[in-house]
Amino acid sequence: MSEHLKRVFAEKKEQDQPAFVTFLTAGFPTRDATVPLMMALEAGGADIIELGVPFSDPIADGPTIQRANTIAIENNVHYSDCLEYVRQARKLGLKVPVIFMGYYNPLIAYGEELAVKDAREAGANGYIIVDLPPEEAIKFRNICQENSMSYVPLIAPSTSIDRVKFLTSIADSFIYVVSKMGVTGSSAGVAISASLPELVARIRAFTPVPLAVGFGVDNRTHFEFVTSAGSDAVVVGSKIIKLVLDNPDIEKASKEVEYFCREITLHGQNPPPLGRANGVAKNGTAKVEPVLPIPEGEVAKPELQVDQPGKLPSRFGLFGGAYVPESLVDCLSELEAAHAEAIKDPEFWKEFEDMFGYINRPSQLYYAERLTEEMGGAKIWLKREDLNHTGSHKINNAVGQILLAKRLGKTRIIAETGAGQHGVATATVCAKFGLQCDVYMGAEDVRRQELNVFRIKMLGGNVIPVTAGSQTLKDAVNEAMREWVTRLEDTHYLIGSAIGPHPFPTIVRDFQRVIGREIKSQMQEKAGKLPDAVVACVGGGSNAIGTFYDFIGDESVRLVGVEAGGHGVDTDLHSATLTKGVIGVVHGASSYIIQSKEGQLVPTHSISAGLDYNSVGPEHSHLKYTGRAEYIVADDTQALKAFKMVTQLEGIIPALESSHGLWGGMQLAKTLPKDKDVVICLSGNGAKDVAEVLLTLKDKKWADKLDWHVAQ
């Protein structure tokens, strides 16, 4: 089937014409619109159709294609429907090759081998998987090869020469060249990057494989510029989606799409030749004659292989990795190299420890005497991260990463936040170090955490509400990643939890492990022994991995993570990822995920904004998978009960996130003898949650349930 793609490029070369590659989101704007639109694309002159497989969290796409994805998912269109669209179009006589374009998780959910086999049988020709770089795609590429399906690599302006060599060596039909840094999107008034000819020439030096250039093409002027830059094909996507959005009537949309395709390609109008028949492009650049069929093989020549630096392990067993758009690959490598160098540099750690006075470290290990009495079992100790500057553990990571960003010469910091604690910590360190600060926060969390939003603004930060999706933490992560791609040269993404693509989970853990190190030495000092269990709440999992990490090798110490049970794990309204989730890929890493059977992220719920997340850090997934850590659940009611008990028995108002960990730790302490010790990470101060608890307790049902009538 990949032969069909090669044949298209060979024929276009023979005609001295560029190939025209079009993109359409399946199931958009209605379930029954896709096949007529595919036929219209072919009638207008499309040589190849990229059919977008809908995904709930398309991190590489701009607002237009995001909207198309959202509508398609609302129409309940998934990978199996995409197969059916291709079958129907082939029955109606569609001749052009069809490539599925999208994200990896829906394919994992369907089953990779079955997905490729069924695609071939349906009449598709290959895949462009935006967040599946070749390093992570060895298995998938092999499945494609066995089924004669094409795996199309992407090259971005940021791609290094070594990596260009590697990517060109594995291309089997063509290479998708991303013309600009950033997300998908077209604009009639914006010129294509002037450096495109240089980018195309750089890639062309290593391969005869055809190059298709996309991102930003809107009109015939753009089309001609891209072809004059030496491209063999032009990709148009967002413009077509906009046309369909503007013409919801399918018959009218089909006519508009066909007309646009004819207009941009001059299909049927005797378009001018490229002038490459003699092997030289119009701009005078020498052309390499494509050799067909393209030689097979994992890597064409040994000298073209990229040496993997292996600076830091990128996986935790099955989990982790870097499933990201090509434009982020080299930036993540730069970050990994900087962190690997920093953690070996005593001066860096001295700089970090010099900030302990600012952070208020070491945080206290406090014996909760009345809580222990109430539970009647093991001694309960609270690791008082709530007493840190800014009121939570988040400042540990924020300080570490800001020092790393300084080392990289970045002048702007972006971050995501759920409960607002990480946003506050980020704005705080940006104020201290004089850096610009933009914080992405789901609109629902902005409502729930009004006080923290105001604190961020007071500190000079800019809060950007995210109105896409469920308007919570996962959507803030998506938007921050999209923004990072557009400003890599001056911006550091200060991720707040142990999530995301490698090396972020390792970086965050390395700066949070100070919690567990201190617990170890403080318990030795206070009790002359290791704790019998350490307990922490788990959302993304940064406070928990910081608490657990230094105890992983101590088999006598139980590691207990407490997830958010929301309305109960027997309902759909919870955030208990490790308890109820399945293995998949989202936000750049393989981990456990709460998703639909089709691989789409679904809404989660927790009374605590900071635990309201669909996935979890990959190292936690590994600890669960291997059985080294145990993960339990506290629902909204139990968390509020713990909130009440700790407030009234110890005079400490805990964060709602921490209240989940407190409930789990308290229940564990009940079951253990009095000579045992349980340490609970009190990760955050509850001042930020008082308004939310007040609102909850004004509801008589909740006040009665908790027997707490202070708001009545």
> Could you tell me if 75 and 223 lie in one domain?
yes
Lowest model confidence (mean pLDDT) among 440-454, 522-536, 676-690: 440-454
Count of domains for the chain:
3
Nearest-angstrom CA–CA distance, 27 and 666: 49
> Could you tell me if 337 and 463 lie in one domain?
yes
Mean pLDDT over 634-643 rounds to 98
Q: Under 8 Å CB-to-CB from 277, ≥6 apart: which residues?
A: 16
> Could you tell me if 459 and 574 lie in one domain?
no
Give 331's pLDDT tier (boundaries 50, 70, 90): confident
Nearest-angstrom CA–CA distance, 562 and 629: 11
Q: Does the annotation mark 296 as catalytic?
A: no
- pLDDT for 93-108, tens place per residue? 999 999 999 999 999 9
- List the catalytic residue out of 50, 172, 444, 612: 50
User: Nearest CA to 465 among 439, 483, 491, 487?
Assistant: 439
Nearest-angstrom CA–CA distance, 574 and 407: 40
In the sheet with 315-316, reading across from the earlier edge strand, the strands are 315-316, 319-320, 589-593, 582-586
Using the 3D structure, point to which of 496, 520, 545 is the last residue of a domain. Answer: 496
Q: Which two tokens stand for residue 309?
A: 């630096």
pLDDT above 50 for 281: no
Kind plus residue range of the DSSP H or E element containing 633: strand 629-635
373 within some domain: yes
> Could you tell me if 88 and 214 lie in one domain?
yes
Mean pLDDT over 392-421 rounds to 95
Whether 452 contacts 689, CB under 8 Å: no
CATH of the domain at 244: 3.20.20.70
Look up the domain containing 144 and give its range.
1-265
Whether 255 contacts 262, CB under 8 Å: no
300 within some domain: no
pLDDT above 60 for 4: yes
Give 310's pLDDT tier (boundaries 50, 70, 90): very low
304 within some domain: no
pLDDT above 50 for 643: yes
Q: What percent of the chain has pLDDT over 70?
A: 93
pLDDT above 90 for 554: yes
Whether 678 contacts 665, CB under 8 Å: yes
Residue 307, pLDDT score: 38
Residue 158, pLDDT score: 84
Whether 327 contacts 485, CB under 8 Å: yes
Residue 488, pLDDT score: 85
pLDDT above 60 for 507: yes
* Helix axes 79-91 and 34-43, enclosed angle (nearest 10): 50
Question: Measuring CA to CA, how many Å separate 317 from each of 19, 215, 620?
Answer: 43, 35, 11
pLDDT above 50 for 625: yes
> Could you tell me if 193 and 250 lie in one domain?
yes
Q: Report strand pairing: 211-214 vs 233-236.
A: parallel
Coil vs helix vs strand at 462: strand
pLDDT above 70 for 416: yes
Mean pLDDT over 36-54 rounds to 97
> Could you tell me if 376 and 397 lie in one domain?
no
Whether 357 contacts 334, CB under 8 Å: no
Residue 73, pLDDT score: 95
- List the catalytic residue out of 42, 61, 136, 336: 61
Residue 240, pLDDT score: 95
16 within some domain: yes
> Could you tell me if 254 and 345 lie in one domain?
no
Lowest model confidence (mean pLDDT) among 155-159, 409-413, 545-549: 155-159
| End-to-end CA gap in the chain | 69
> Could you tell me if 486 and 417 lie in one domain?
yes
User: Nearest CA to 488 among 102, 180, 165, 189?
Assistant: 180
Residue 187, pLDDT score: 53
29 upstream amide cis, omega within 30 of 0: yes
> Could you tell me if 256 and 378 lie in one domain?
no
Print burial letters for 250-262: b (CB count within 10 Å at least 16), e (below 16): beebbebbbebbe
Give 66's pLDDT tier (boundaries 50, 70, 90): confident
Q: Which two tokens stand for residue 291?
A: 């050799």
647 within some domain: yes
Q: Does the annotation mark 162 as catalytic?
A: no
CATH of the domain at 489: 3.40.50.1100
311 within some domain: no
Q: Report strand pairing: 582-586 vs 589-593.
A: antiparallel
Q: What burial class does residue 436 get, using C-beta atoms within 10 Å of its C-beta: 0-12 exposed, 13-18 middle, 19+ buried?
A: middle
> Could you tell me if 484 and 612 lie in one domain?
no
Question: Measuring CA to CA, how many Å separate 518 from each of 369, 385, 391, 660, 665?
Answer: 20, 11, 18, 22, 19
Give 133's pLDDT tier (boundaries 50, 70, 90): confident
> Could you tell me if 89 and 183 lie in one domain?
yes
Using the 3D structure, point to which of 453, 472, 496 is the last residue of a domain. Answer: 496
Q: Which of 246-255, 306-315, 320-329, 372-381 has the highest mean pLDDT?
A: 372-381
Helix, strand, coil percent values for the chain (each to nearest 5): 45, 15, 35
> Could you tell me if 468 and 520 lie in one domain?
no
What DSSP designation does 416 have? Answer: E
Q: What burial class does residue 225 get, using C-beta atoms within 10 Å of its C-beta: 0-12 exposed, 13-18 middle, 19+ buried?
A: buried
Mean pLDDT over 683-709 rounds to 94
CB atoms within 10 A of CB 221: 13
Lowest model confidence (mean pLDDT) among 5-9, 34-38, 469-473: 469-473
Residue 184, pLDDT score: 55
pLDDT above 50 for 283: no
- pLDDT for 169-226, tens place per residue? 889 999 999 987 655 544 555 555 678 899 999 999 999 999 999 887 888 998 999 9
Alpha-carbon Rg for the chain in angstroms:
27
Mean pLDDT over 258-280 rounds to 85
Using the 3D structure, point to which of 496, 528, 544 is the last residue of a domain. Answer: 496
Give 358's pLDDT tier (boundaries 50, 70, 90): very high
Whether 514 contacts 337, CB under 8 Å: no
Mean model confidence pLDDT for the chain: 91
39 within some domain: yes
Residue 270, pLDDT score: 87
Q: How many CA atoms lie within 13 A of 326 on its CB side?
A: 26
Q: Which two tokens stand for residue 169?
A: 């060596």
317 within some domain: no
Whether 637 contacts 705, CB under 8 Å: yes
Lowest model confidence (mean pLDDT) among 187-196, 459-468, 480-489: 187-196
Mean pLDDT over 294-315 rounds to 48
Give 294's pLDDT tier (boundaries 50, 70, 90): very low
Cα angle value 514/516/519 (rounded, 5°) = 110
Q: What percent of the chain has pLDDT over 90?
A: 77
